[in-house]
Amino acid sequence: MTLIDENFHSPADRELLEFNELGNFINLWEAEFDWFEPPNYRRSGWSGAARYELHRENGEVVGVFIKRQENHLRRTWRYPKGCPTFRIEWQNLEKLTQYQVGVPAPLYYGERHLDGRPQAILITYELQGYKPLNEWLCDLDENRENTAATNKDLRLAVLPAIADVVRSLHDHRFRHNCLYPKHVMLKVRQDGKLTATDIRLIDLEKARRVFSPLGARIRDLDTLFRRCPEWSNYEKDLFLNHYLGLNLDQLAPKQLTEELGKIPLVKWVKRRIAGKGKK
């Protein structure tokens, strides 16, 4: 007998899948979906994602992402023989949702072992209206309807919200481990003002809990800054100002850099970036 482990984020999520005749692992595994991203094959396993529209009883349409994988494992100290990467992502999503850190809303996770091959399914709600940070910055630069001053204001307006979510992640002793701009999703209102709920961090299968948030801060900030060449040095300094809660927004760029340079965390992050830049 093949054992199946299934988890629903809430009873309402179970009802939604059941209403769409996708309320169990077998139906979800055997259903035909169009791939949103081509499956990623490695070694003897694969992993892929599909976008799908579910229907509620009242006729409302809900977009979700259904990710399926087989024999796609990650080894950790907790799982030395390996476990499906989606199981780790599900656990991270559940915990971060509990902590009210901005992440995609989890819906379902299921897992089974068939002929010695672990299979897993992860479903999250679609982030409708969101864009990756790097794409949003490029689109803003190409937008000829806005003035240069307007674009500058919009770029600066998003920094506090992004910093709040990243800091919240670290404050709860999580390290993203892959904090690229494409993994920071934004939903910007027309006035350019954001709140923390307008930011979502995605691709959390590599995220992990850490004993101390310091290492997480250094690692993730280093990655984000090096992978976001669209940000100027001044924008990175403003991000650090908001991340650290210093309220130094009114300082001139040079003064801001000097004040930030007195803080050990900033020194370590910038030293790490500079060191990698020489390689």
pLDDT in tens, 144-170: 777 787 888 889 999 999 999 999 999
CATH architecture of 4-125: 2-Layer Sandwich (3.30)
Q: Classify domain 131-277 at the CATH class level.
A: mainly alpha
Short-list 109, 83, 85, CA closest to 97: 109
Query: What is each CA distance from 166 to 14, 96, 185, 234, in whole angstroms?
Result: 31, 12, 12, 18
**Residues 231, 232, 235: CA angle, nearest 5 degrees:** 80
φ, ψ of residue 199 to 5 degrees: the values are -120, 135
Q: What is the pLDDT of residues 91-104, one digit of tens each?
A: 999 999 999 999 99
Residue 73 bridge partners (DSSP): 84
3-state secondary structure of 95: helix
Q: What is the pLDDT of residues 218-228, one digit of tens each?
A: 999 999 999 99
pLDDT over 60 (residue 16): yes
Longest dimension (CA), the chain: 68
**Residues 229, 270, 201: CA angle, nearest 5 degrees:** 55
* Six-digit token string for 75: 């080894």
Q: What is the pLDDT of residue 279?
A: 57
Domain 4-125 and domain 131-277, same fold? Reply is: no
Q: How far apart, in whole angstroms, are the C-alpha atoms of residue 62 and residue 52?
A: 8
Q: How far apart, in whole angstroms, are the C-alpha atoms of residue 208 and residue 220?
A: 12
Q: What is the pLDDT of residue 128?
A: 93
Look up the pTM and report it. 0.92
Domain ranges of the chain: 4-125, 131-277
